[in-house]
């Protein structure tokens, strides 16, 4: 497999998560950009798509951030390989599945990536571990500046950056945080929190974006509006909301600690016991058990299990990573066996070290 070097290791940006509290897993910044001299995606021809790719790769080559980045055209990857990139958050399902010339460019630690010919000609992404949202924002702005120096982008002096879908027009910026809120779910306060977020025009989704549900108590919070607000103000607002959510989660954790300490410890250690010993693990059960262990880490009950380890486990046990690791197609039942095996082995490595 062309992605062999990827599948067995964690994206190295993840290792930065271990100094965080385990509540905020990561922050992502995304910019939508289109080249001025080509039709938007719905109208573009294949030769024009190829020209877009060529222009972008040339610009990247001469940039500081992406001069040594890896490029994969989707046409050289089979469906499984594309899914591996989706599971690593390097590309969207749309880029993996659509027709036409398209591809992805990403740097060594997978913290920066550029999808070419997705819904927009360019989708720039920066990701950073823990609560370092400002870092991702700074990185994406730098990459944007570097590419814009070499590429002429579709821009309107009144509207800002033009995009295929008007919801992205303006800054083209979408910021999101992936946040683990198990105590708010356990105390049944999450519904109330979600309502509050809706009123602030921030959306809440599961880990894999629109339409995915919040497996393992992981929520992705992102801004809705890209127009009428500066990039800085979107960032400040998201940071503020994230801090608030972390505060709510901590309160909920405190009340669990006070009112149901025994039950929470039991829940955490049962999950640890099952992850350590189960021979069959569905993806859903795995995510729920992982959530309980992660809560145990945040509460200080479980020690010696780094947050980055749990994050990597989440990636390594997804269907296409399992299939790639096995080197062959797997039935759902075989996946559940391999998932359990990988979790068991990796967990015994980390707990025995």
- Three-state secondary structure call for residue 209: strand
Query: Is 208 or 269 the residue whose CB approaches a second copy more closely?
Result: 269
- DSSP letters for 8-38: TS--GGGGGGGGS-SSEEEEEEEEEE-BTTS
Least Å distance between CB 337 and a second copy? 6
Question: Is 326 an interacting residue with respect to a second copy (CB under 8 A)?
Answer: no
* Smallest distance from a second copy to CB 319, Å: 18
Instruction: Output the smallest distance, CB 301 to a second copy, in A.
Output: 10
Instruction: Return the beta strands (E) in the chain as ranges.
Output: 24-33, 70-73, 103-106, 112-116, 122-129, 155-156, 160-161, 173-180, 202-205, 218-223
Verify binding: residue 263, a second copy, rule CB under 8 A: yes
Q: Which residues contact 312 (CB under 8 A, 6 or more apart)?
A: 10, 14
Q: Which two tokens stand for residue 133?
A: 């949202």
The one segment of 13-21, 150-158, 175-183, 275-283 that binds a second copy by CB under 8 A: 275-283
Please state the closest distance from residue 330 (CB atom) to a second copy, in A: 14
Phi and psi torsions of 329, nearest 5°: -65, 145
Options 43, 64, 158, 279; binder of a second copy; rule CB under 8 A: 279
Is 3 an interacting residue with respect to a second copy (CB under 8 A)?
no
Give whichever of 79 and 304 is closer to a second copy, judged by the CB atom. 304
Q: Is 105 helix (H, G, I), strand (E, B) or coil?
A: strand
- Quote the least distance from Cβ 282 to a second copy, whole Å: 11
Q: φ and ψ at 244, to 5 degrees?
A: -65, -45
Nearest residue (CB) to a second copy, 200 versus 337: 337
Q: How far is the CB of 271 from a second copy (least distance, A)?
A: 8
241 vs 330, which CB is nearer to a second copy? 330
- In whole angstroms, give the CA distance from residue 48 to residue 56: 12
Question: H helices within 187-300, ranges in order?
Answer: 190-199, 231-259, 261-277, 283-298
- H or E stretch including 151? none
Applying CB under 8 A, the span of 7-15, 186-194, 268-276, 311-319 interacting with a second copy comes to 268-276
Q: Least CB distance from residue 46 to a second copy, whole Å?
A: 47
Binding a second copy (rule: CB under 8 A), the pick from 266, 304, 326, 349 is: 266
Q: Shortest Cβ distance from residue 276 to a second copy (Å)? A: 5
Tokens of 293: 């262990």
Which range, of 56-64, 210-218, 262-270, 322-330, touches a second copy by CB under 8 A? Answer: 262-270
Interatomic CA distance for residues 66 and 59, integer angstroms: 9
337 forms part of the interface with a second copy (CB under 8 A):
yes
CA atoms in the 13 A half-sphere facing the CB of 200 = 19
Structure-token pair, residue 60:
């990247």
Q: Quick one: which of 166, 198, 247, 273 contacts a second copy (CB under 8 A)? A: 273
Is residue 310 near a second copy by the rule CB under 8 A?
Answer: no
Strands 160-161 and 155-156, bridge-based pairing: antiparallel
Quick one: which of 333, 345, 348, 351 contacts a second copy (CB under 8 A)?
Answer: 333
Closer by beta carbon to a second copy, 18 or else 265: 265
Binding-site ranges for a second copy (CB under 8 A): 262-263, 265-266, 269-270, 272-280, 333, 337, 340
């Amino acid at each position: 497999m062309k992605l062999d070097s990827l599948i067995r290791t964690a994206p190295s940006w993840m290792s930065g998560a271990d100094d965080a509290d385990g509540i905020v897993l990561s922050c992502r910044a995304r910019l939508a950009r289109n080249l001025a001299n080509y039709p938007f995606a719905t109208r573009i021809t294949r030769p024009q798509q190829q020209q877009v790719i060529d222009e972008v790769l040339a610009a990247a080559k001469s940039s500081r951030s992406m001069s040594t980045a890896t490029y994969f055209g989707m046409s050289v990857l089979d469906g499984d390989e594309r899914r591996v990139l989706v599971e690593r958050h390097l590309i969207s399902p749309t880029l993996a599945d659509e027709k036409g010339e398209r591809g992805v460019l990403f740097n060594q630690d997978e913290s920066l990536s550029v999808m070419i010919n997705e819904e927009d000609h360019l989708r720039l992404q920066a990701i950073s571990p823990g609560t370092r949202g400002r870092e991702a924002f700074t990185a994406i702005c730098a990459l944007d500046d570097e590419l814009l120096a070499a590429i002429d982008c579709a821009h309107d002096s009144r509207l800002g950056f033009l995009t295929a879908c008007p919801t992205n027009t303006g800054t083209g910026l979408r910021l999101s945080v992936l946040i683990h809120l198990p105590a708010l779910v356990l105390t049944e306060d999450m519904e109330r929190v979600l309502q509050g977020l809706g009123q602030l025009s921030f959306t809440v989704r599961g880990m894999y974006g629109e339409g995915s549900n919040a497996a393992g108590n992981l929520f992705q919070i992102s801004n809705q509006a890209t127009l009428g607000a500066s990039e800085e103000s979107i960032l400040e607002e998201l940071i503020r909301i994230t801090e608030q959510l972390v505060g709510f989660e901590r309160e909920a954790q405190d009340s669990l600690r006070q009112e149901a300490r025994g039950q929470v410890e039991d829940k955490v250690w049962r999950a640890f016991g099952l992850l350590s010993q189960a021979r069959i693990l569905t993806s859903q059960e795995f995510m729920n058990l992982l959530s309980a262990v992660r809560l145990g880490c945040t509460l200080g009950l479980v020690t010696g299990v780094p947050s980055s380890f749990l994050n990597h486990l989440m990636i390594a046990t997804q269907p296409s990573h399992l299939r790639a690791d096995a080197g062959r197609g797997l039935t759902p039942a075989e996946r559940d066996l391999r998932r359990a095996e990988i979790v068991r082995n990796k967990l015994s490595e980390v707990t025995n070290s």
